[in-house]
Structure 1
Amino acid sequence: MAHVDYYFATISPYTYLCGVRPAEITTAHGATLTYRPMDLMNVFSRTGGQPPAERHPNRQAYRLQDMRRRAMMTGLPMKEKPAFFPTNPAPSSYAIIAAQADGSGDMAALVAGITRACWSEDRDIASDDVIRDCLTAADFPASLADSGLLAGAETYHRNTEEAVRLGVFGAPFFITDGDARFWGEDRLTDLEAHLAGRI
């Protein structure tokens, strides 16, 4: 059975634009999926990237155009300048890590819900109340927002270190067990083709 590691950041607009498709694609092709939230700013600083606000104006302008187009292509509503961006992604990442360990709810819905809260609903995903709401909506216990914080922090750090070691430089980033790598929401079709054996 094929496996895909999904490296992402809860504050990434392109992670939001993935929605639940990573889970749908892997399930359709009999592959397993592990969610690996990471510290994207740390990854950027170590792999030649920059936070959006520090990029050249040409890159900033292109990013906004591209986000607008990709939102139209995916059909997901998106705010180009959400009220709570940037914000601290660690609390929501820890909750996702705890939820994956718990296993009782819908991981795809949780990741989609947290990123949607930031990029469509103008909610602060560093807020415990917002995280609890997202956990509950995805059929996880709200208490996961407050549990396993040390384990969450350790896993988050480990995910970040592994991401850099494995060649990740942005989010979302997908790596198969055969080391095929796919960067970006717009490469999900390539990931699907790979899992189907077409490329």
Structure 2
Amino acid sequence: MPHIDYYFSTLSPFTYLAGLGLEEVADRHGATITYKPLDIIALFARTGGTPPAERHPARQEYRAQEILRLSKKHGMPMQLRPAHWPTNPAPSSYAIIAGQRAGGGDVGALAHAFLRACWAEERDIADDEVVRACLSEAGFDPGLADSGLLSGAETYAANLEEAVAQGAFGSPFYITDGGQRFWGHDRLEDLDLHLSGKI
């Protein structure tokens, strides 16, 4: 059974725009997924990336145009400048880690609920009530927002170290158990083809 390590940030617009594409690919191939939310700004610092706010204006303008084009292409609502961005990604990340550990819900739906809350619904994913609502929406006990914070913090930090060690440098980033790396929501088709044995 193939496996995918999924490195991502709950603040990434391109991860939001991936929707549930990864889950659809995994379902087609009977693949399992380990969700590994991480601190994207720390990952940039460790791997030679530049945070969006520090990029040249031409790059910032292109990024904005691209995000809006892609949102229209995929039929996904998008707030280019969300009311609560950037915000602290740790609470949402800890909730995903806790949900994955506890089971009983849909981890992919939970990750997407946080991304949608940020980029489409003008909600603050660092807010306790938003975290609880997203957990409940994805079928998890909302009480997970209050438990396992220490282990969540430890796993969150470990995910960053693993990402660097495995060669991830952005979000979303998909790595197969064979070590094939795919960066970006627009590489899901290639991941699908790879798992099909075509590339």
TM category, shorter: over 0.9
Where structure 2 has 5 or more consecutive residues not aligned to the other structure, the ranges are none
Q: Give the 3-state SS of the residue equivalent to 1:34 in structure 2.
A: strand
Shift in Å, 1:30: 1.1
Identity of aligned residues (%): 60
Corresponding residue number in structure 1 for 2:30: 30
Shift in Å, 1:128: 0.6
Shift in Å, 1:194: 0.7
Cα distance between partner residues in 2 of 1:157 and 1:171: 16
Deviations 1:81-108 (A, max 9, x none): 1001100000100000000001100111
Cα distance between partner residues in 1 of 2:164 and 2:38: 10
Corresponding residue number in structure 2 for 1:83: 83
Q: Does 1:123 align with 2:123?
A: yes
Shift in Å, 1:73: 2.1
Q: Give the 3-state SS of the residue equivalent to 1:117 in structure 2.
A: helix
Where structure 1 has 5 or more consecutive residues not aligned to the other structure, the ranges are none
Counterpart amino acid of residue 151 in structure 1: S
Cα distance between partner residues in 1 of 2:99 and 2:65: 34
Cα distance between partner residues in 2 of 1:166 and 1:29: 23
Cα distance between partner residues in 1 of 2:183 and 2:3: 16
Cα distance between partner residues in 2 of 1:168 and 1:193: 20
Cα distance between partner residues in 1 of 2:187 and 2:80: 21
Corresponding residue number in structure 1 for 2:150: 150
Aligned positions, number: 199
Q: Give the 3-state SS of the residue equivalent to 1:76 in structure 2.
A: coil
Corresponding residue number in structure 2 for 1:48: 48
Corresponding residue number in structure 1 for 2:134: 134
Counterpart amino acid of residue 181 in structure 1: R
